[in-house]
Amino acid sequence: MSSTKISFNEVEVKIQNKKTNIKNWILEISKEHNHTIKSLSYTFSNDAFLLKINQSYLNHDTLTDIITFDLGDETNNKKIEGDIYISLERIKENAKIHNASYKEEELRVIIHGLLHLCGFEDKNDTDKRNMRVLEENAIAKFNAMFHVE
């Protein structure tokens, strides 16, 4: 498993660390859901950048914390290929709203995009609750893997 399968990029922001632990965690969670990662790119940016993507590609005129594009081959949906865009401003705001730490909210958003690429949806209340449980379980796994208290 080469760590080059997963990349972290920045546009108009600076990310705090190299994210090596996060790469290992993402690989573990994808494996847990019977998927492998062929190519996965995370781009961290700000609200303005994500708003432009949301307007241009999805015809949505709203701020969002994450946009996930599935670039995978429909004939082999167990191999993940995707681009995920994350707004650090939304993470900061959502952490306040949900009374969570910035790090916890960042992990939640990072894994949320991966879960979408694994086939999980959040279109209705039941799916949203299921997604939240999957996110919480993944965050607990991260904390256990890297001895975070």
Measured CA to CA, the distance from residue 78 to residue 119 in angstroms comes to 9
CB neighbourhood size of 13 (10 A): 14
Give kind and range of the element (H or E) at residue 132: helix 125-145
pLDDT (tens digit per residue) in 56-115: 999 999 999 999 999 998 777 789 999 999 999 999 999 999 999 999 999 999 999 999
Measured CA to CA, the distance from residue 71 to residue 133 in angstroms comes to 25
- Measured over the CA atoms of residue 106, residue 110, residue 115 and residue 116, the dihedral's sign is positive
Residue 40 domain boundaries: 3-145
pLDDT at residue 147 in the model: 85
**What single-letter amino acid sits at 107?**
L
Give kind and range of the element (H or E) at residue 42: strand 36-45
pTM for this model (two decimals) = 0.92
Query: Which residue carries 């705001």 as its tokens?
Result: 93
The total number of structural domains that make up the chain = 1
